[in-house]
Chain A
């Protein structure tokens, strides 16, 4: 009797679950339309859409290296397989030319294709839920007035069961919210600072910053309670943008604004890897919006507590100082200058790194790096003081290895620092020695693990391709 009851209950739950699942997985098709003429869109709306698309970083995933703008085909590598981005140019057959505005709004809001199929959450609709109808309308106007490009993206290469789009229905039930998951953060609607509220809207919504800067769980959703905790994307570390930020000089709204606007900031470093695409795209965004994004992100990082300041300064103290005291003062502001003035632990004279020639890494640093990174020129004409570089204080060796190997190429898109790559100059052992030396000499942090793996992966060429994105952006 008891067993029978259990069977019935289990059966009911299964049927009910399947019902909910089918309901969630099933979405109607929206009838195709004849592609609207470009002239039918209000030019001011199109212009606004262009600025929004820049903030949404659409081109990074939807424009392949060497491919036509928004024609898709970029492989997004996930733990579940590779998903290829779709063609969002207004080609009727292979793009979104046949999509009505309603279909576009639904895709942004619910992650559903015009024909009713579910889109994979590599498309960050879990953030785009926040985008207003008006902004979606502007984005639609912008995309529908781009050149139509005929291009069929390669088929996704996903493992079972993820190759079935219906699985996304389960993901949506678990993770899709009409509001951002990562609470508590400033509520976009209630923040008292208008710029912070605007920033919240852009960062949590269209900008989908957390898609890279928040670690993901086993099902590929952003971890709740770990918002902006930092993560790895395409072999690059996306740094923490919360209280766990490892910046030696704490980020401020002003320094973040400079970084986002110029692509580099003298006390933190240069945007590269996927972030290079972000700042390159942001060039088309208005100053006010970039300022709002900076204000909001600065609020997430928060003011450094006395304790974190002390930790950072202790880590910094006693390491090979790389510039004259006067330079330090000029470069790092009062924070670091105060540390060097009153700390007995701040040992070693300028040039100390040059004298410790026993270490192979120190030798390489002195001869190959110091001419720029320890020279008299400030960024962008000289290299960053490596004691301040996020790449060296960060949680993994990935970004440092990527940049040393592939450099920071010059770009036609934005003036900024450049650095030669050393892939053909340093062998793996020499690079490993350099990386270990830099981490030890310029930070007081624990040595990195996995340096050899990082070097091996970065030699593979995929990272070089990421660096090359800059060229693609420059052409657009």
Chain B
């Protein structure tokens, strides 16, 4: 058993230490934002933050996460009070089927936390590991630029 810190909440987790974080999030903690896409770290749908950095939850065993902070999309905001990145994606209607969107949002969030002024070229480069089969890329890019604006007006020092 280990303690897993997810969205600032400690969780007692019974799973085998080799279990991918994604399975624990979805099956045990019922946090379903992160999606299972390929299971190989090649599509980006499962991306969450570990200590602020984007990782593929499908290839990250929980054994690696003792003492670390996991953030999922649920940790950014709620339906009632969406975070800037979530609001931006809604306002730009940046989802078609939506399956890739939580991963896209998490990597964009990580980028904007460290580089709020990221250029369009930087955003494209950083988002490169994420696949979208619907072809919503242009809206996704617009949403991330909108999130940059929204974060400027969000409370100082808190990008959520």
Contact = CB atoms under 8 A, between A and B. Distances in A.
Interface of A: 354, 357, 360, 363-364, 366-368, 371-372, 409-410, 418-420, 422, 424-427, 430
Given A419-B41, A425-B64, 9 more contacts: A363-B17, A366-B18, A367-B19, A368-B59, A368-B60, A371-B39, A420-B40, A425-B59, A426-B64
A131 to B, nearest CB: 37
Interface in B1-47: 17-20, 39-42
A367 B41 contact: no
A357 B17 contact: yes
27 contacts: A357-B18, A360-B63, A363-B17, A363-B18, A364-B64, A367-B17, A367-B18, A367-B20, A367-B59, A367-B60, A367-B61, A367-B63, A368-B61, A368-B64, A371-B39, A371-B58, A372-B40, A372-B41, A420-B42, A420-B129, A422-B59, A424-B53, A425-B50, A425-B60, A425-B64, A426-B64, A430-B64
Given A366-B18, A424-B50, A371 B40 contact: yes
Interface in B70-117: none
A324 B128 CA distance: 35
Nearest to A425: B55
Contacts of A366: 18, 61
A58 B105 CA distance: 40
Contact of B56 (A357, A418, A420): A420
A364 B61 contact: yes
Residue of B40, B42, B54, B55 with most partner-chain A CB within 10 A: B40
Interface of B: 17-20, 39-42, 50, 53-56, 58-61, 63-64, 128-129
Contacts of B42: 418, 420
By Cβ-Cβ distance, the 10 closest A-B pairs, closest first, are A367-B61, A420-B41, A424-B53, A367-B18, A425-B55, A368-B59, A366-B18, A363-B63, A425-B60, A424-B55
Contact of B63 (A354, A364, A422, A427): A364
Nearest to A468: B125
A425 B68 CA distance: 11
Contacts of B63: 360, 363-364, 367
A426 B63 CA distance: 11
A327 B19 CA distance: 25
Nearest to A368: B59
Contacts of A418: 42
Contacts of B19: 367
A357 B15 CA distance: 14
Contacts of B56: 420, 425
Nearest to A426: B64
A419 B53 CA distance: 18
Contacts of A357: 17-18
A416 to B, nearest CB: 13
Nearest to B18: A367
A224 to B, nearest CB: 44
A7 B39 CA distance: 79
A150 B148 CA distance: 36
Contacts of B18: 354, 357, 363, 366-367
B55 A371 contact: no
B147 to A, nearest CB: 21
A227 to B, nearest CB: 39
Nearest to B65: A425
B113 to A, nearest CB: 13
Contacts of B50: 424-425
Contacts of A424: 50, 53-55
Nearest to A377: B40
A243 to B, nearest CB: 37
A368 B50 CA distance: 15
A426 B40 CA distance: 16
Given A424-B53, A424-B54, A363 B39 contact: no
Nearest to B19: A367
A264 B59 CA distance: 23
Contacts of A427: 64
